[in-house]
Amino acid sequence: MIELEQVAYGYGTGTLLSDVTMSLAQGSFHFLTGPSGAGKTTLMKLCYGELVAEQGSVALFGQNVREMQRDDVAEVRRRIGVVHQDCQFLDHLSLAENIMLPLTVSGRALHDPSELQELLAWVGLQQQANAKPPELSGGERQRAALARAVIMSPDVILADEPTGNVDWDMSVRLLQLLVELNRMGKTVMIATHDMNLIRSAKSQVQARVLRISNHQVTAAGANL
C-alpha cells in the first residue's frame, strides 16, 4: 500500500530522516514510536504526500509521489484516512459537517445516514455534533479527527497521536475502533509515545512496532 525506499528528508536544518526503507502491507498494523522531535509526524506526512522525499522514493498504492499530478494526490488522499496531530478542522463548520467533509469534497454521501450517528456514538461525540471545533476540548477534537479519518472507509489509516489528549478508557475505545477496522482489512499505522497503548494492542492484534532513532526507522524488539 505504502512503500518507502531509501527515503531521506530534512527541513533545511539538517537531516531528519535518512535511508528509511519500510512498507505498510495491506491489512498490516503498525505502531510508530520515537522521542518527541524524532520525525514521526514528518514520516506520516511523507506517507500521504504532504511532503515529498528529498531522496529515495515513496510509492502510494503503486504510484510514485514525485510523479503524481495534483489530482492524483487528491485521489490518493481519499484512500488514506489521516488523524493529524493538530487535527485540522474548518472552524466555521459544525463538528458533524467536518466529519462528513471528506465525503462532501469527493461528491459522495453515506450509504446510510445512521452511520454518522453510530460513529459519533462510538467516539462519544453525539452531544457535540453541532458544536464548532474551537468550542471543543483537545480530546474531543482528537476523537472527531479519528471519526473524520475513517468516514470514507479508507484503505489505509494513519493516526498521529490519536490518543494524546484522552483518558485511558477512551484511548482503549479508540484503539478498539482501529483494531476493528484492521480486522476488516484496513491498513493501520499509529504514531504514539504511549507504551501502555502498544501493550494493550498486542493482545488484540498482530502489531509491529517501528521506532525512529538516529534518523533511521528500525523494527523494535518484542520486549517493550
Ligand X SMILES: Nc1ncnc2c1ncn2[C@@H]1O[C@H](COP(=O)(O)OP(=O)(O)OP(=O)(O)O)[C@@H](O)[C@H]1O
- Site residues (vs ligand X, CB under 6 A): 11, 16, 34, 36-42, 85
Q: Please, what is the minimum distance in Å from the beta carbon of residue 59 to ligand X?
A: 21
Binding mask 21-40 for Mg ion (x = CB under 5 A): -------------------x
Query: Is the CB of 74 or the CB of 219 nearer to another protein?
Result: 74
Kindly state the helix (H) or strand (E) to which residue 46 belongs, with its residue range.
helix 40-47
Are 186 and 156 in contact by the 8 Å Cβ rule? The answer is yes
Size of the site for another protein (CB under 8 A): 29
Cα separation, 37 vs 217, whole angstroms: 14
Binding mask 118-157 for another protein (x = CB under 8 A): ------------------------------x---x-----
Q: Does 41 bind Mg ion (CB under 5 A)?
A: yes
In angstroms and rounded to an integer, the radius of gyration of the C-alpha atoms of the chain is 17
Cα separation, 122 vs 145, whole angstroms: 13
Cα separation, 63 vs 80, whole angstroms: 14
Query: Is the CB of 91 or the CB of 112 nearer to another protein?
Result: 91
Residue 88 phi, psi (nearest 5): 60, 75
The x, y and z cell numbers of residue 31, run together, are 505502531
Question: Using the rule CB under 8 A, which residue among 40, 84, 143, 186 binds another protein?
Answer: 84
Question: Using the rule CB under 8 A, which residue among 44, 46, 82, 96 binds another protein?
Answer: 82
Q: Does 162 bind another protein (CB under 8 A)?
A: no
Cα separation, 98 vs 218, whole angstroms: 36
